[in-house]
Each structure stands twice: as C-alpha cells, then as structure tokens.
Copies of this chain bind each other. A is one copy, B any other.
Amino acid sequence: MPSLDTTFAALADPTRRAILARLAAGEASVNELADPFSMSQPAISKHLKVLERAGLISRGRDAQRRPARLEAAPLADANAWLETYREYWTESFEALDRLLARTKPTTTSRRRPIRRS
C-alpha cells in the first residue's frame, strides 16, 4: 500500500513529475521516455523504480518494452490530504487581495499621457 510519505517523496523531483505528465498522454517504454528527456536509460529506470514503489506507475508484462503506465490513485490520496487545507490558502489569498487593494497606488489616474513625437 503506497503511503503519503512515498507519494510526496516521489513527487519531489522535476524529472519524475515530467515522466508522470508524459505518461498522462499514454504508456511509454524506457526507450521512449529516455529520448525526449535526454537522459540515459539507467537514469530513467531509476526514476521509474521510485514511481513504481510509490504506486504511481505500473509496468506492462511485455518483457521487451515493459511499458510504464500512469496509476493515479496515490495522487487522489495526496490531493485529499491537501484539500483539508483549502480553507487556509483561500483565506490567505483573500487577505492578500485585501492588502493589495489597500496599498494600491491612487496616482495612476494622475499620470501624464505619453506624447508620441
């Protein structure tokens, strides 16, 4: 059972997030992933192992290609955890809006028009 620990740790890397984004468009082999990422196959394989342990991908049975496929369920769990904080970030954005509204310069309308020569 993948935990939030392994899910968040797997997501804390830009290459692994990019691999997931690529797999969202359809399954791909290590070869097919290595090319656009300009990475070696062993480097891609290492990232795929982390993603697989986190349950974020599964590998196909085709022994040659072993295509990787996105498994989104752990992302749903991570999302559910983050959702419990939604009221807090909504609140802080609203506070920021209020602050910006108060500190907005009122001189804009008094600015001279630019004359084109």
Contact = CB atoms under 8 A, between A and B. Distances in A.
A78 to B, nearest CB: 6
Contacts of A86: 79
How many monomers of this protein are in the complex?
2
A82 interface: yes
A73 to B, nearest CB: 6
Contacts of A6: 12
Which bucket holds chain A's interface residue count?
Answer: 20 to 34
Nearest to A14: B5
Interface of A: 4-9, 11-14, 17, 20, 24, 70-73, 75-76, 78-79, 81-86, 88-89, 91-93
7 contacts: A4-B17, A7-B12, A8-B12, A24-B84, A75-B85, A79-B83, A79-B89
